[in-house]
Structure 1
């Protein structure tokens, strides 16, 4: 992989057309810090701005995804990373954008989860598009056990992503969930052997990268834009967004490559 920026708590690397963002605070199970949040948001912006990036993989270093808010810091002097306070002051919603609460990248985001993915980690997860986890991964929203509120979007999003009874059980009990349980209720899509989540996520990203980027981005946008519409309005919106894709050079290239039995070369035109 090629390194392309980041902060002391967030590593940014390129793997072909995939941007790999790694939460890199393993000594704290990648609990949230200012350098981590700023680096994460900058990573989303980099992916949005660079047309050569076709997918994003989000993972964690040291065998964990993210343990959420740093409770020790919350009980003490606040989050680590004084050098980044000006960034947070300049954009009061930066942390929500970093956690995918108030920002949605236009490229597909694939989560590769190992170890702990709890509290804020499970909240960030809900902002990703495709989710892979090692079989020993742990999920859950523990906030109520600490007298806190899962304000990263879970009381809104979770019931829209999994059945409400499961959402409420997770929200109101604060108990941990295994990867198998998380898959059974639809919170994650795939369970893989421990230590291979990133490998599987990168393989999925390669499949995404081989597709027409204009089509991929239009499909993702349509899925989210129509989620709360009636079927009639959603179908109208889908046609308005999807029909122009057929007039692109990429669409012609896809058909031509199929006829010529070769891989397509897409140029985002």
Structure 2
């Protein structure tokens, strides 16, 4: 498994857990963190034994966004990784899920601060679980900045436009309860239990047919910008091949035999 000094990688069964690990800075984005994130997404995609990914943060926070001290000219940590950024100038956008979509489901486990770039990364995840004390928001306009991690495009597609514009234009903080009410997160749990809840959700996903899970995720995103007629046609193209897999036959057989299915990605 990979990882850097600011991003740890662990396995929990078939789940890859990526932990943003810069707690002294509320996991503000650094070059080692971004490189570790991108490598984690690639590792999850390449390893067929990984069926889901959980993204979380160390020290009671998710991510406080870009390191504003670095942006002010004091330099971003991680000179040893600059060759990676030079080789792939798009790496930071891929790390933040702006220009990369993992084929495995990604579950965010949020505690504490998930603001600015943290809320932008959140929009690239599939399922979001937050501790009740979590804080969300896009603070960029308060600093004269632009939320260029994708929020002006993604947020109005994920929550009602009036809520998206209020979040984008006021830069105010949102508590977990309000974030759930407007649809930014799916579930709120007691503080300190978001990771546990995310891992439980991941286990439910892991018990399903992996080819089916990945096809369903792909279909949801592929059809998002299509008309209903176009989307339904694309869904058939993505969905019908799943019925011809050995895993589909195993699922039906296991149901008939009243046992847990054993899926082999075949």
Q: Which TM class, normalised by the smaller chain length?
A: over 0.9
**Match in the other structure for 2:255:** 258
Deviation, structure 1 residue 78: 2.4
* Corresponding residue to 1:59 among 45, 56, 59: 56
**Match in the other structure for 1:33:** 30
Task: Determine if the alignment matches structure 1 residue 86 to structure 2 residue 87.
Answer: no
**Helix, strand or coil: the match of 2:33?**
helix
Task: Determine if the alignment matches structure 1 residue 18 to structure 2 residue 48.
Answer: no
Deviation, structure 1 residue 72: 1.1
Tell me if structure 1 keeps the 8 A contact 2:2–2:39. no
Partners in 2 of 1:214 and 1:101 — Cα distance?
24
Tell me the alpha carbon deviations over residues 172-196 of structure 1, each in whole angstroms, 9 at most, x when there is no partner. Answer: 0000000000000000000000000
**Match in the other structure for 1:72:** 69
Partners in 2 of 1:118 and 1:126 — Cα distance?
11
**Helix, strand or coil: the match of 1:188?**
coil
Partners in 1 of 2:45 and 2:252 — Cα distance?
27
Task: Determine if the alignment matches structure 1 residue 153 to structure 2 residue 166.
Answer: no
**Match in the other structure for 2:232:** 235
| Superposed CA RMSD | 0.4
Partners in 1 of 2:193 and 2:76 — Cα distance?
31
**Helix, strand or coil: the match of 2:74?**
coil
Task: Determine if the alignment matches structure 1 residue 122 to structure 2 residue 140.
Answer: no
Tell me if structure 2 keeps the 8 A contact 1:162–1:187. yes
Unpaired stretches in structure 1, ≥5 consecutive residues: none
Deviation, structure 1 residue 97: 0.1
Deviation, structure 1 residue 103: 0.1
Partners in 1 of 2:2 and 2:71 — Cα distance?
28
**Match in the other structure for 1:221:** 218
Tell me if structure 2 keeps the 8 A contact 1:5–1:13. no
TM-score under structure 1 normalisation?
Answer: 0.98
Partners in 2 of 1:165 and 1:30 — Cα distance?
29
Equivalent pairs, count: 266
* Alignment map for 1:195-214 (pairs within 5 Å): 195-214=192-211
Shifted more, 67-76 versus 189-198: the winner is 67-76
Partners in 1 of 2:104 and 2:2 — Cα distance?
19
Tell me the alpha carbon deviations over residues 96-121 of structure 1, each in whole angstroms, 9 at most, x when there is no partner. Answer: 00000000000000000000000000
Deviation, structure 1 residue 73: 1.4
Partners in 1 of 2:21 and 2:207 — Cα distance?
29
**Match in the other structure for 1:189:** 186
Deviation, structure 1 residue 77: 2.6
Task: Determine if the alignment matches structure 1 residue 139 to structure 2 residue 136.
Answer: yes
Tell me if structure 1 keeps the 8 A contact 2:107–2:202. yes
Partners in 2 of 1:151 and 1:89 — Cα distance?
20
Structure 1's consecutive aligned runs of 4 or more residues displaced over 6 angstroms after TM superposition are: none
Partners in 2 of 1:39 and 1:78 — Cα distance?
19
